[in-house]
Structure 1
Amino acid sequence: MRVTFSKSPEWFPSARPKGLERLFVREPIAEYTSQYVHMFLQDLEHLVPLGSRKERDGYFELETNDKPLAMKVVTALDRQYHSPHLGDALRHFLSSTAMELFFTGHSIIKLTVKFDEFKWEVSSLHPSATRIVSFGPFLLQVLPERDNQGFSRDFEIFPSELRFLSAKDILRIQLPTSLRRRRKRLIRRLRLLSDLSYPDTEKLFPRTSLENPSPKNNFFDFSMFRKNFDIALFQTIRETGWMARDYSGDEKSDFFTSVWRLRFRKFQASLRMDIIRQLNEKIPKIIHQVNPDFKMTIKEKGMLTPDELTEMEQQLYAGEISFKTVIDSTFNR
């Protein structure tokens, strides 16, 4: 394994770490094989309300001294759909970033400036972000043995590499400190619960045989298993307010659903506001290298804040607002 220094990270399809790579890199989360992880990330990514807005940019506004440049930067953040609209670009960016943050703990974007065209180009390291770790003032990328098949006619195999990256032009979004440890614990438990959600009944129940044609199950109570499983699940997701899409049952009620809905929206709003805060702090620092006078602030408008959601929860406890008000407000805002 060789050690190199570079300004630019490298994109490559993500793969399981091997050998010494395991010292630096954790195995990627198999989202689609973990039922609860997949559902949680699907619900979490909607950081911007799904309710319709007449204006495409209705939830955000830009305060800047260079509107064309600021729009190029923000819309370039939309790595999936490349929308030219402020609101759509930020919604797509927040969605993909939330997913990446809960997969890896951080999100990496490389900003590159072309002076002659005055055009911003953004390359995303989303599939390889699990292989980028902090090392003092540097970011360290662990590159596996790889080839250029499909990119060049001259086939070549590159050795594994430890690449030190200069963080000057790299936009790194991190989870809030309070969520970093909770993320690992939450994902680990959701993966475990996904594996336990459908027990192997062939091993749990006695088998029919000639000697025992009508076996009795004296040791496994499935109803008790489901009760204990539900308790473990809700203890795991209680801090986030996510309901695991389980809205029925004797323990559920409109009040219970409304409270949890408010708490999950509060969890999403806190994450959204922290990502926007990091954008406002880090993007100007990167652009100041080529334009020292540049100023830019992304502002939210029309969306519920954590304080407003806390107030709504208190009003719900006091009976001052209805369940319908909670559902309508959290859907449209």
Structure 2
Amino acid sequence: MNSLRIFKAEPIHRQIFQNDQIGLVDSFFLKRQKREPGFNRRMFDEDFANIFSVMNHRSRNRFMVESNDEKLAQTLLINAETRYASNSIDESIGELTEQIALSLVWHGKAYYYLHGNPEIEGVRLASLDSRGIFRLLGNHFQWVPRCLEQDWDLDAKKHSREIRLLDSAKLVRFDLPSSIKQALNTQNRILAILDKHKFAETQFLPKAKLENPNPTSNFDFRIWNDIQERVLCRATRSTGWSGRNYDSVKRSDFYTCHRLIRFRRNQLLLRDSILKQISIQLSRIGRPYNAEFSVAVSVTTQLPTVEELNELEIRLEREDAGFDEILDFCFQR
């Protein structure tokens, strides 16, 4: 721990370092970078975090913002850092929600930090690497190993090992709902095994030899694929994910509809949780500039709700809703 510095400062947002650069001391505070997710895990993360359909992404008035200080609320929301530039509050909330969702699905948490002062200058609510962030005695710290920082439009900077005391009033944290977190933990363990052995059937193929250049194989690939599909279906039962397989002749329309509803419901539960957390966290970080400040972000009738899905599921069980209606609701709304 030579030359370890401890000081109050803004966080480093983009740290560039490899797992082999994380020393023994660093590993107590800094998780090693996860390996690139496998095929099924990567597909699920993309599908689940894609909370809004293409149609809804292009629509307007998806969100309602209620605040006792509209100017401050708009300043915080419109200046939230997102992957794509947003031209309106509606776009900013949509992009922010999906960005937070992706981080939650992969890391289980997401951090943002407020830079600037809305009363004096422009502000930026920027995403923050969750690795290395820890809380001690009511204070938040960022553990920074020896690394490079890639800043916006600037050359990379070298940093020695240091601990940065962060301003908790400007730090924002989002968490994955416990019910979804538990379901994902169980599912991801099985998906990791499936991805690891996805192409293991090649090991059962006999090798060609000089005396037998075209060996025959009794390995039944249909049974192997059937087992893989069954395991995937069971692993994703809680989340309702289909693995992007909607045309299997082994699945009834009734089965597919229930899985679609369950998957969409989990997405909406995550969406609503994120919007609630956005409301709470923005209200908190805005109070240094307005002691009575509060903001509430919610969906409008342009977007589906959990209550509508529950009603649709009841109608499906009564055989009052058909396959086409379920598809239209889950993919078009």
Superposition TM-score tier, normalisation by shorter sequence: 0.7 to 0.9
Report if aligned partners of 2:16, 2:150 keep a CA contact under 8 Å in 1.
Answer: no
Of 35, 40, 45 in structure 1, the residue corresponding to residue 49 of structure 2 is 45
Gaps of 5+ in 1: none
Structure 2 residue 18 is matched with structure 1 residue 16: yes
Report if aligned partners of 2:9, 2:164 keep a CA contact under 8 Å in 1.
Answer: no
Letter in 1 for 2:80: L
Tell me, in whole angstroms, the C-alpha distance in 1 between the residues paired with 2:72 and 2:81: 15
* Counterpart residue number, 1:94: 97
Q: Deviations over 1:96-130 (max 9, x none)?
A: 111111221111111134255353222221xx223
Letter in 1 for 2:38: S
Measured at CA, do residues 29 and 152 of structure 1 come closer, stay the same or move farther in structure 2, by a change above 3 Å? closer
Q: Deviations over 1:178-199 (max 9, x none)?
A: 2334333433432332222222
* Counterpart residue number, 1:160: 161
Structure 2 residue 276 is matched with structure 1 residue 277: yes
Report if aligned partners of 1:75, 1:82 keep a CA contact under 8 Å in 2.
Answer: no
- Residues 289-304 of structure 1 mapped to structure 2, 5 A cutoff: 289-302=288-301, 303-304=303-304
Gaps of 5+ in 2: none
Tell me, in whole angstroms, the C-alpha distance in 2 between the residues paired with 1:53 and 1:211: 61
Q: Deviations over 1:13-45 (max 9, x none)?
A: 3443322233333333344x5211221122112
SS at match of 1:167: coil
Tell me, in whole angstroms, the C-alpha distance in 2 between the residues paired with 1:124 and 1:170: 10
Letter in 2 for 1:26: K
SS at match of 1:77: coil
* Counterpart residue number, 2:260: 261
Tell me, in whole angstroms, the C-alpha distance in 2 between the residues paired with 1:61 and 1:221: 55
Tell me, in whole angstroms, the C-alpha distance in 1 between the residues paired with 2:331 and 2:261: 10
Q: Deviations over 1:270-312 (max 9, x none)?
A: 0000011111112111111121122211121122222321221
* Counterpart residue number, 2:6: 4
* Counterpart residue number, 1:250: 249
Structure 2 residue 106 is matched with structure 1 residue 103: yes
* Counterpart residue number, 2:70: 67
Letter in 2 for 1:275: I
Measured at CA, do residues 121 and 78 of structure 1 come closer, stay the same or move farther in structure 2, by a change above 3 Å? closer
* Counterpart residue number, 1:142: 143
Provide the alpha-carbon RMSD of the alignment: 2.7
Letter in 1 for 2:34: I
Letter in 2 for 1:29: K
Measured at CA, do residues 140 and 228 of structure 1 come closer, stay the same or move farther in structure 2, by a change above 3 Å? farther
Deviation at 1:51, TM superposition (A): 2.2
* TM-score, length basis structure 1: 0.87
